[in-house]
Amino acid sequence: MISFLPEDRQLALERCCAILAGKAALATFVEPGSASPAAGSALASTAAAIAVEAERRHAGGLRLMLFPVHLFLPVGHTHTRELLIDIDQPLIAQDYISRAGGSAHDQVQELAKPLERQCQENSFRLQPADVAEFLGDFERALRDDFQEERRSHPAGKQSLDGFELSRFVVEWAEQMNYLHPGLLVSLRESLQAWREARRLGALHRLEVEGAGAWLNWPVGRGLVWLESVAGVGLAFYGLINHLVAIALLCLTGLLKRESDRDKITEWLGRGVVVLGCCAVEVFLVARFWGRRAAGYYAPTLPLSALYLWRYAWLLSHQTRIAYLSLNLSAEDAKTKRLRKDFLFEINQALNRHAEMLALPH
Protein backbone atom coordinates (compact mmCIF):
# COMPACT_ATOMS: atom_id res chain seq x y z
CA MET A 1 0.00 0.00 0.00
CA ILE A 2 1.60 3.24 -1.15
CA SER A 3 0.04 6.15 0.71
CA PHE A 4 1.11 9.71 -0.05
CA LEU A 5 0.17 13.35 0.35
CA PRO A 6 -0.49 15.50 -2.72
CA GLU A 7 2.97 17.07 -2.43
CA ASP A 8 4.59 13.60 -2.31
CA ARG A 9 2.97 12.37 -5.54
CA GLN A 10 6.29 12.30 -7.40
CA LEU A 11 7.91 10.13 -4.73
CA ALA A 12 4.95 7.75 -4.89
CA LEU A 13 5.30 7.60 -8.69
CA GLU A 14 8.98 6.66 -8.36
CA ARG A 15 8.06 3.84 -5.94
CA CYS A 16 5.45 2.58 -8.41
CA CYS A 17 7.98 2.56 -11.23
CA ALA A 18 10.45 0.62 -9.06
CA ILE A 19 7.78 -1.97 -8.23
CA LEU A 20 6.89 -2.42 -11.90
CA ALA A 21 10.54 -2.68 -12.88
CA GLY A 22 10.80 -5.62 -10.48
CA LYS A 23 8.13 -7.51 -12.49
CA ALA A 24 5.58 -7.14 -9.70
CA ALA A 25 1.89 -6.33 -10.05
CA LEU A 26 0.53 -2.95 -9.06
CA ALA A 27 -3.14 -2.22 -8.32
CA THR A 28 -4.57 1.30 -8.51
CA PHE A 29 -7.90 2.42 -7.11
CA VAL A 30 -10.19 5.43 -7.33
CA GLU A 31 -8.68 8.01 -5.02
CA PRO A 32 -10.96 8.99 -2.12
CA GLY A 33 -11.89 12.63 -1.84
CA SER A 34 -11.59 13.23 -5.56
CA ALA A 35 -13.46 16.41 -6.47
CA SER A 36 -14.07 15.21 -10.01
CA PRO A 37 -17.36 13.46 -10.74
CA ALA A 38 -15.59 11.48 -13.48
CA ALA A 39 -13.78 9.20 -11.05
CA GLY A 40 -13.37 6.53 -13.71
CA SER A 41 -11.55 9.01 -15.92
CA ALA A 42 -9.24 9.95 -13.02
CA LEU A 43 -8.54 6.27 -12.35
CA ALA A 44 -7.63 5.63 -16.00
CA SER A 45 -5.44 8.74 -16.15
CA THR A 46 -3.59 7.75 -12.97
CA ALA A 47 -2.91 4.20 -14.20
CA ALA A 48 -1.89 5.48 -17.64
CA ALA A 49 0.49 8.06 -16.13
CA ILE A 50 2.22 5.39 -14.01
CA ALA A 51 2.56 3.04 -16.99
CA VAL A 52 3.91 5.76 -19.32
CA GLU A 53 6.46 6.94 -16.77
CA ALA A 54 7.65 3.39 -16.06
CA GLU A 55 8.02 2.60 -19.79
CA ARG A 56 9.86 5.88 -20.46
CA ARG A 57 12.36 5.11 -17.70
CA HIS A 58 13.08 1.70 -19.21
CA ALA A 59 12.89 2.63 -22.91
CA GLY A 60 9.72 0.60 -23.46
CA GLY A 61 11.33 -2.64 -22.34
CA LEU A 62 8.88 -3.50 -19.56
CA ARG A 63 5.98 -4.31 -21.93
CA LEU A 64 3.50 -3.44 -19.18
CA MET A 65 -0.06 -4.75 -19.41
CA LEU A 66 -2.99 -2.93 -17.80
CA PHE A 67 -5.87 -5.15 -16.66
CA PRO A 68 -9.17 -3.39 -15.87
CA VAL A 69 -10.68 -5.17 -12.84
CA HIS A 70 -14.42 -5.00 -12.27
CA LEU A 71 -15.92 -5.72 -8.84
CA PHE A 72 -19.37 -6.51 -7.57
CA LEU A 73 -19.56 -5.74 -3.86
CA PRO A 74 -22.83 -6.95 -2.25
CA VAL A 75 -24.54 -4.21 -0.27
CA GLY A 76 -27.24 -4.44 2.38
CA HIS A 77 -30.02 -6.91 1.64
CA THR A 78 -28.93 -8.09 -1.82
CA HIS A 79 -29.69 -11.78 -2.39
CA THR A 80 -26.07 -12.66 -3.15
CA ARG A 81 -23.29 -12.67 -0.55
CA GLU A 82 -20.45 -13.29 -2.98
CA LEU A 83 -17.74 -10.82 -3.96
CA LEU A 84 -17.50 -11.13 -7.74
CA ILE A 85 -14.34 -10.16 -9.61
CA ASP A 86 -13.93 -9.94 -13.38
CA ILE A 87 -10.51 -9.30 -14.91
CA ASP A 88 -10.96 -7.68 -18.32
CA GLN A 89 -8.79 -8.03 -21.43
CA PRO A 90 -5.39 -6.33 -20.92
CA LEU A 91 -4.07 -3.30 -22.75
CA ILE A 92 -0.36 -3.34 -23.65
CA ALA A 93 0.91 0.12 -22.71
CA GLN A 94 3.74 0.29 -25.27
CA ASP A 95 1.35 -0.27 -28.20
CA TYR A 96 -0.50 2.94 -27.35
CA ILE A 97 2.59 4.90 -26.33
CA SER A 98 4.21 4.26 -29.70
CA ARG A 99 1.17 5.70 -31.52
CA ALA A 100 1.37 9.03 -29.69
CA GLY A 101 3.97 11.74 -30.15
CA GLY A 102 6.99 12.32 -28.01
CA SER A 103 5.10 14.29 -25.36
CA ALA A 104 4.44 12.37 -22.13
CA HIS A 105 1.06 14.11 -21.86
CA ASP A 106 0.02 12.89 -25.32
CA GLN A 107 1.13 9.37 -24.49
CA VAL A 108 -0.88 9.36 -21.25
CA GLN A 109 -3.98 10.59 -23.08
CA GLU A 110 -3.58 7.99 -25.83
CA LEU A 111 -3.45 5.18 -23.27
CA ALA A 112 -6.05 6.61 -20.88
CA LYS A 113 -8.87 6.83 -23.46
CA PRO A 114 -9.25 3.09 -24.23
CA LEU A 115 -8.54 2.26 -20.60
CA GLU A 116 -11.33 4.57 -19.45
CA ARG A 117 -13.75 2.96 -21.90
CA GLN A 118 -12.96 -0.48 -20.51
CA CYS A 119 -13.25 0.74 -16.93
CA GLN A 120 -16.71 2.12 -17.64
CA GLU A 121 -17.86 -1.09 -19.34
CA ASN A 122 -18.17 -2.93 -16.05
CA SER A 123 -19.40 -6.47 -16.73
CA PHE A 124 -21.65 -6.27 -13.64
CA ARG A 125 -23.29 -2.97 -14.58
CA LEU A 126 -26.98 -2.54 -15.22
CA GLN A 127 -28.02 -2.04 -18.82
CA PRO A 128 -28.84 1.57 -19.86
CA ALA A 129 -32.55 0.72 -20.09
CA ASP A 130 -32.47 -0.66 -16.52
CA VAL A 131 -30.73 2.47 -15.23
CA ALA A 132 -33.31 4.66 -16.98
CA GLU A 133 -36.11 2.56 -15.46
CA PHE A 134 -34.49 2.85 -12.02
CA LEU A 135 -34.25 6.64 -12.29
CA GLY A 136 -37.84 6.87 -13.56
CA ASP A 137 -39.14 4.82 -10.64
CA PHE A 138 -37.02 6.88 -8.23
CA GLU A 139 -38.63 10.04 -9.59
CA ARG A 140 -42.07 8.43 -9.22
CA ALA A 141 -41.33 7.51 -5.59
CA LEU A 142 -40.30 11.11 -4.87
CA ARG A 143 -43.48 12.41 -6.51
CA ASP A 144 -45.61 10.06 -4.39
CA ASP A 145 -43.78 11.18 -1.26
CA PHE A 146 -44.21 14.87 -2.11
CA GLN A 147 -47.90 14.40 -2.92
CA GLU A 148 -48.46 12.65 0.40
CA GLU A 149 -46.79 15.53 2.22
CA ARG A 150 -48.97 18.03 0.35
CA ARG A 151 -52.12 16.12 1.36
CA SER A 152 -51.03 16.17 4.99
CA HIS A 153 -50.11 19.89 4.74
CA PRO A 154 -52.64 21.38 2.30
CA ALA A 155 -51.47 24.90 3.07
CA GLY A 156 -48.25 24.31 1.12
CA LYS A 157 -48.16 25.88 -2.33
CA GLN A 158 -45.26 23.94 -3.86
CA SER A 159 -46.26 22.45 -7.22
CA LEU A 160 -44.94 19.29 -8.86
CA ASP A 161 -45.24 20.75 -12.35
CA GLY A 162 -41.96 20.33 -14.17
CA PHE A 163 -40.49 18.19 -11.39
CA GLU A 164 -37.55 16.03 -12.50
CA LEU A 165 -34.40 14.54 -11.06
CA SER A 166 -31.34 16.76 -10.87
CA ARG A 167 -28.34 16.23 -13.10
CA PHE A 168 -26.34 15.40 -9.96
CA VAL A 169 -28.52 12.33 -9.32
CA VAL A 170 -28.35 11.16 -12.94
CA GLU A 171 -24.54 11.48 -13.01
CA TRP A 172 -24.29 9.69 -9.66
CA ALA A 173 -26.33 6.75 -11.00
CA GLU A 174 -24.24 6.53 -14.18
CA GLN A 175 -21.00 6.67 -12.19
CA MET A 176 -22.10 4.07 -9.59
CA ASN A 177 -23.15 1.79 -12.43
CA TYR A 178 -19.53 1.10 -13.34
CA LEU A 179 -17.73 1.95 -10.09
CA HIS A 180 -20.08 0.26 -7.61
CA PRO A 181 -22.92 -1.64 -9.38
CA GLY A 182 -23.60 -3.60 -6.21
CA LEU A 183 -24.96 -0.42 -4.61
CA LEU A 184 -27.35 0.17 -7.51
CA VAL A 185 -28.49 -3.47 -7.39
CA SER A 186 -29.26 -3.13 -3.67
CA LEU A 187 -31.19 0.11 -4.17
CA ARG A 188 -33.02 -1.42 -7.13
CA GLU A 189 -34.13 -4.36 -4.98
CA SER A 190 -35.53 -1.91 -2.40
CA LEU A 191 -37.27 -0.05 -5.21
CA GLN A 192 -38.73 -3.25 -6.65
CA ALA A 193 -40.03 -4.26 -3.21
CA TRP A 194 -41.90 -0.93 -3.03
CA ARG A 195 -43.20 -1.30 -6.59
CA GLU A 196 -44.46 -4.84 -5.93
CA ALA A 197 -46.18 -3.76 -2.69
CA ARG A 198 -47.80 -0.84 -4.52
CA ARG A 199 -48.91 -3.13 -7.38
CA LEU A 200 -50.45 -5.69 -5.02
CA GLY A 201 -52.12 -2.95 -3.01
CA ALA A 202 -53.69 -1.45 -6.14
CA LEU A 203 -54.81 -4.89 -7.33
CA HIS A 204 -56.38 -5.77 -3.98
CA ARG A 205 -58.13 -2.39 -3.79
CA LEU A 206 -59.55 -2.98 -7.27
CA GLU A 207 -60.83 -6.42 -6.21
CA VAL A 208 -62.45 -4.95 -3.11
CA GLU A 209 -64.11 -2.13 -5.04
CA GLY A 210 -65.54 -4.61 -7.56
CA ALA A 211 -66.72 -7.17 -5.00
CA GLY A 212 -70.35 -6.07 -4.99
CA ALA A 213 -72.91 -4.72 -2.55
CA TRP A 214 -72.50 -7.52 0.00
CA LEU A 215 -69.10 -6.18 1.08
CA ASN A 216 -70.49 -2.71 1.84
CA TRP A 217 -73.40 -4.20 3.81
CA PRO A 218 -72.39 -5.03 7.42
CA VAL A 219 -74.87 -7.91 7.58
CA GLY A 220 -73.45 -9.35 4.35
CA ARG A 221 -69.90 -9.20 5.66
CA GLY A 222 -71.03 -10.71 8.96
CA LEU A 223 -72.71 -13.64 7.24
CA VAL A 224 -69.54 -14.34 5.20
CA TRP A 225 -67.36 -14.36 8.31
CA LEU A 226 -69.92 -16.45 10.22
CA GLU A 227 -70.11 -19.13 7.53
CA SER A 228 -66.33 -19.10 7.09
CA VAL A 229 -65.90 -19.98 10.77
CA ALA A 230 -68.96 -22.16 11.35
CA GLY A 231 -68.59 -24.15 8.13
CA VAL A 232 -65.07 -25.40 8.85
CA GLY A 233 -66.29 -28.60 10.50
CA LEU A 234 -68.70 -29.57 7.74
CA ALA A 235 -66.14 -28.74 5.05
CA PHE A 236 -63.53 -30.84 6.87
CA TYR A 237 -65.99 -33.74 7.05
CA GLY A 238 -66.52 -33.47 3.28
CA LEU A 239 -62.80 -33.35 2.68
CA ILE A 240 -62.23 -36.51 4.71
CA ASN A 241 -65.05 -38.28 2.85
CA HIS A 242 -63.69 -37.41 -0.59
CA LEU A 243 -59.94 -37.28 0.09
CA VAL A 244 -59.29 -40.54 -1.77
CA ALA A 245 -61.40 -39.44 -4.75
CA ILE A 246 -59.62 -36.07 -4.91
CA ALA A 247 -56.23 -37.81 -4.74
CA LEU A 248 -57.16 -40.18 -7.58
CA LEU A 249 -58.48 -37.32 -9.72
CA CYS A 250 -55.20 -35.45 -9.18
CA LEU A 251 -53.06 -38.50 -10.00
CA THR A 252 -55.01 -39.26 -13.18
CA GLY A 253 -55.02 -35.61 -14.29
CA LEU A 254 -58.82 -35.48 -14.37
CA LEU A 255 -58.86 -32.34 -12.21
CA LYS A 256 -56.96 -30.28 -14.79
CA ARG A 257 -59.06 -27.60 -16.41
CA GLU A 258 -57.04 -27.60 -19.60
CA SER A 259 -56.53 -30.98 -21.28
CA ASP A 260 -56.57 -32.57 -24.72
CA ARG A 261 -59.22 -35.12 -23.76
CA ASP A 262 -62.80 -34.97 -24.97
CA LYS A 263 -65.01 -33.12 -22.47
CA ILE A 264 -67.65 -35.87 -22.35
CA THR A 265 -65.02 -38.54 -21.78
CA GLU A 266 -63.36 -36.39 -19.14
CA TRP A 267 -66.57 -35.87 -17.15
CA LEU A 268 -67.44 -39.56 -17.45
CA GLY A 269 -64.02 -40.41 -16.04
CA ARG A 270 -64.52 -38.02 -13.13
CA GLY A 271 -67.95 -39.51 -12.41
CA VAL A 272 -66.63 -43.07 -12.46
CA VAL A 273 -63.79 -42.21 -10.05
CA VAL A 274 -66.05 -40.34 -7.60
CA LEU A 275 -68.91 -42.88 -7.67
CA GLY A 276 -66.47 -45.75 -7.37
CA CYS A 277 -64.83 -44.24 -4.29
CA CYS A 278 -68.24 -43.53 -2.72
CA ALA A 279 -69.37 -47.12 -3.34
CA VAL A 280 -66.22 -48.51 -1.71
CA GLU A 281 -66.66 -46.21 1.31
CA VAL A 282 -70.33 -47.21 1.77
CA PHE A 283 -69.34 -50.89 1.47
CA LEU A 284 -66.65 -50.51 4.15
CA VAL A 285 -69.04 -48.71 6.52
CA ALA A 286 -71.66 -51.46 6.02
CA ARG A 287 -69.05 -54.15 6.65
CA PHE A 288 -67.68 -52.72 9.89
CA TRP A 289 -70.70 -50.84 11.33
CA GLY A 290 -73.67 -52.50 9.69
CA ARG A 291 -76.15 -51.70 6.95
CA ARG A 292 -78.08 -49.23 9.09
CA ALA A 293 -74.99 -47.05 9.60
CA ALA A 294 -74.27 -47.30 5.88
CA GLY A 295 -77.83 -46.11 5.16
CA TYR A 296 -77.27 -43.00 7.27
CA TYR A 297 -73.78 -42.44 5.87
CA ALA A 298 -74.55 -42.74 2.14
CA PRO A 299 -76.72 -39.58 1.80
CA THR A 300 -74.03 -37.48 3.51
CA LEU A 301 -71.55 -38.19 0.71
CA PRO A 302 -73.15 -36.06 -2.03
CA LEU A 303 -74.27 -33.42 0.48
CA SER A 304 -70.79 -33.05 2.00
CA ALA A 305 -69.28 -32.97 -1.49
CA LEU A 306 -71.59 -30.13 -2.51
CA TYR A 307 -70.78 -28.16 0.64
CA LEU A 308 -67.06 -28.78 0.23
CA TRP A 309 -67.31 -27.21 -3.22
CA ARG A 310 -69.40 -24.37 -1.78
CA TYR A 311 -66.90 -23.76 1.05
CA ALA A 312 -63.94 -23.72 -1.36
CA TRP A 313 -65.78 -21.14 -3.49
CA LEU A 314 -66.59 -19.11 -0.37
CA LEU A 315 -62.96 -18.99 0.77
CA SER A 316 -61.56 -18.07 -2.65
CA HIS A 317 -64.19 -15.45 -3.55
CA GLN A 318 -65.85 -13.87 -0.53
CA THR A 319 -63.74 -14.66 2.54
CA ARG A 320 -60.57 -13.60 0.77
CA ILE A 321 -62.15 -10.33 -0.40
CA ALA A 322 -63.49 -9.65 3.08
CA TYR A 323 -60.00 -10.20 4.50
CA LEU A 324 -58.43 -7.93 1.85
CA SER A 325 -60.91 -5.16 2.72
CA LEU A 326 -59.76 -5.34 6.35
CA ASN A 327 -56.10 -5.45 5.35
CA LEU A 328 -56.05 -2.51 2.91
CA SER A 329 -54.88 0.01 5.49
CA ALA A 330 -52.05 -2.32 6.59
CA GLU A 331 -51.00 -2.78 2.94
CA ASP A 332 -50.99 1.00 2.42
CA ALA A 333 -48.84 1.44 5.52
CA LYS A 334 -46.42 -1.23 4.28
CA THR A 335 -46.17 0.45 0.87
CA LYS A 336 -45.42 3.82 2.50
CA ARG A 337 -42.84 2.23 4.79
CA LEU A 338 -41.05 0.53 1.87
CA ARG A 339 -41.03 3.81 -0.04
CA LYS A 340 -39.60 5.65 2.96
CA ASP A 341 -36.95 2.96 3.43
CA PHE A 342 -35.91 3.23 -0.21
CA LEU A 343 -35.73 7.02 -0.12
CA PHE A 344 -33.72 6.88 3.10
CA GLU A 345 -31.23 4.43 1.57
CA ILE A 346 -30.77 6.43 -1.62
CA ASN A 347 -30.44 9.71 0.30
CA GLN A 348 -27.69 8.17 2.39
CA ALA A 349 -25.87 7.07 -0.78
CA LEU A 350 -26.26 10.53 -2.34
CA ASN A 351 -25.01 12.20 0.84
CA ARG A 352 -21.90 9.99 0.88
CA HIS A 353 -21.30 10.91 -2.77
CA ALA A 354 -21.73 14.60 -1.97
CA GLU A 355 -19.22 14.31 0.89
CA MET A 356 -16.72 12.70 -1.47
CA LEU A 357 -17.13 15.66 -3.82
CA ALA A 358 -17.00 18.16 -0.92
CA LEU A 359 -20.56 19.31 -1.69
CA PRO A 360 -23.34 20.15 0.79
CA HIS A 361 -25.98 17.48 1.40
pLDDT (tens digit, 9 = 90+) per residue, 89-126?
899 988 888 877 778 888 888 888 898 888 878 888 88
Residue 285 and residue 295 in contact, taking contact as beta carbons nearer than 8 Å: no
Of residues 60 and 87, more confidence is placed in 87
Locate the domains of the chain by residue range.
Answer: 6-120, 159-361
Of the CA atoms within 13 Å of residue 130, those in its CB half-sphere come to: 13
The pLDDT of residue 154 = 65
pLDDT (tens digit, 9 = 90+) per residue, 336-348?
999 999 999 999 9
Centre a 10 Å sphere on the Cβ of residue 235 and count the other Cβ atoms it contains.
Answer: 20
Q: What is the CA radius of gyration of the chain?
A: 35
The pLDDT of residue 80 = 64
Residue 52 and residue 96 in contact, taking contact as beta carbons nearer than 8 Å: no
Centre a 10 Å sphere on the Cβ of residue 43 and count the other Cβ atoms it contains.
Answer: 22
Structural element, H or E, at residue 70: strand 69-72
Reported as a pLDDT band with limits 50, 70 and 90, residue 250 is confident
The pLDDT of residue 77 = 62
d(CA 182, CA 128): 16
The pLDDT of residue 132 = 92
Amino acid at site 267: W
Q: How many residues does the chain have?
A: 361
Centre a 10 Å sphere on the Cβ of residue 110 and count the other Cβ atoms it contains.
Answer: 21
d(CA 13, CA 146): 50
pLDDT (tens digit, 9 = 90+) per residue, 176-229?
888 888 889 889 989 999 999 999 999 999 999 888 888 888 888 899 999 999
- pTM of the entire predicted model: 0.68
The pLDDT of residue 205 = 92
What percent of the chain shows pLDDT beyond 90? 27
Which of the 8 DSSP states describes residue 29? -
- Residue ranges of alpha helices (H) inside the chain are 9-21, 39-57, 93-97, 104-120, 128-152, 167-179, 181-209, 213-216, 218-230, 232-241, 243-252, 263-289, 291-314, 320-356
* 33 has a pLDDT exceeding 60: no
Which among 308, 254, 307, 309 has a CA at the least distance from the CA of 276? 254
The pLDDT of residue 254 = 74
Reported as a pLDDT band with limits 50, 70 and 90, residue 236 is very high
